[in-house]
Amino acid sequence: MTQPQSASRPPSPPRVGLFVTCLVDAMRPSVGFAALKLLRDAGCRVEVPEAQTCCGQPAFNSGDTADTAVLARRFIEAFEPYDYVVAPSGSCVGMTRAHYVEALADDPAWAERARRLADRTYELMSFLVDVMHFTPAGVKLDATVTYHDSCSGLRELGVYAQPRALLDSVSGLSLMPLEGNDVCCGFGGTFCVKYPAISNAVVAEKADAIDRSGARLLLGGDLGCLMNMAGKLKRKGSRVRAFHAAEVLAGMGDGPAIGEER
């Protein structure tokens, strides 16, 4: 692997706890394996803690702070031993980085542990670029792609340039601009099933914009949003196929897309 050594590079090899997220675990394991491969390629010692389940975001966003706190404590216990915690999702990382402290506010000792863990928790692509200074090598995919910036990653974590920088290293790939790339797709976790009609109107506009981009593939960094958009694209008969960006970066872009038979 050829990559520039940087002064800010962590003591190698860092021990990374991979949180695959509950959605990737149950619905699309390939995203987890892609993350695993990318982190290993970047020179990390990756472990996947057995005790991981869900970060508690559905409970938090439903206003159920007590249950959130239960899951937050579990998460902290599972991931505290690692140098870094990495997940292929802006929204789960946003949850642990930005909101665990809020959810545990009543319990100063746990809030402090949450704060310390938050500083070491990263969204996959920002970790690869900002911490590991990693560039994937030898990945090829002949495709026109467009990129949706999922809201939590973009606004809570500032993930914008990193996926683009990584995708830039994939040969044959050309990135088409997406009108409203930073506009919410209407997923919103439980929102999409609590208010299905509103969610549908939002994702319908998003799917139209994706079609107008002229790209053949839709990429993003959050499986929830991707399932929402892919599901809508398929329902409207669009030919655009959707992948998690990590899959493309790990060289799995020629496999079945989200919602395709495997």
Partner 1 sequence: MQEAPMSFKARAERALADPTLKLAIDRTTGTAERKRAVAMTQFPQFEAARECGKRIKDHVIAHLDHYLLEFERNAIASGAKVHWARTAEEASQIVVSLCRQAGAKRVTRVKSMLGEEIGLPHALDEAGIERVETDLAEHIVQLGGDRPSHIVWPSMHRTREQVSEMFKRSHRAPHREETIEAMVDSARRELRDKFLSADVAISGANFLVADTGATCTVTNEGNAELTTTPPRVHIVTAGIEKLVPTTAHAFAMLRLLVRSATGADVTQYTTFHCGPKQPGDRDGPEEFHIVLVDNGRTRMLREGLKEMLRCIRCGACMNHCVVFRQLGGHVYGGTYPGPMGAVLTPVFDGLKSSRDLPHACTLNGKCQEVCPVDIPLPTLLRGWRDRSWREGLEPASMRVGMGLFTFVASRPRLYRLATAVAIRVMRLFSRGGTVRGMPGLGAWTAHREFPAPAERSFMAMYKDLEKGQ
Binding site for partner 1 (CB under 8 A): 20, 22, 24-30, 32-33, 36, 48, 50-54, 56, 58-65, 67, 70-71, 74, 102, 151-152, 155-156, 182-184, 186-189, 191-204, 227-228, 230-232, 234-235, 256, 258-262
Taking the mean position of all CA atoms in its chain, how far away is CA 11? Answer: 25
Q: Which two tokens stand for residue 121?
A: 């928790």
Quote the least distance from Cβ 39 to partner 1, whole Å. 13
C-alpha span between 100 and 254 (Å, rounded): 37
Contact 214/239 with Cβ under 8 angstroms? Answer: no
Nearer to partner 1, 196 or 214 (CB): 196
Nearer to partner 1, 42 or 154 (CB): 154
Quote the least distance from Cβ 5 to partner 1, whole Å. 29
Quote the least distance from Cβ 3 to partner 1, whole Å. 26
Helix (H) or strand (E) holding 113: helix 108-118
Quote the least distance from Cβ 128 to partner 1, whole Å. 19
DSSP string, 10-22: PSSSPEEEE---H
C-alpha span between 72 and 74 (Å, rounded): 5
State the DSSP code for 154. I
For residue 129, the SS3 value is helix
C-alpha span between 257 and 125 (Å, rounded): 20
Nearer to partner 1, 170 or 246 (CB): 246
C-alpha span between 201 and 121 (Å, rounded): 34
Nearer to partner 1, 46 or 125 (CB): 46
Nearer to partner 1, 170 or 192 (CB): 192
Quote the least distance from Cβ 15 to partner 1, whole Å. 16
C-alpha span between 61 and 191 (Å, rounded): 9
Quote the least distance from Cβ 246 to partner 1, whole Å. 13
Nearer to partner 1, 59 or 249 (CB): 59
For residue 174, the SS3 value is strand
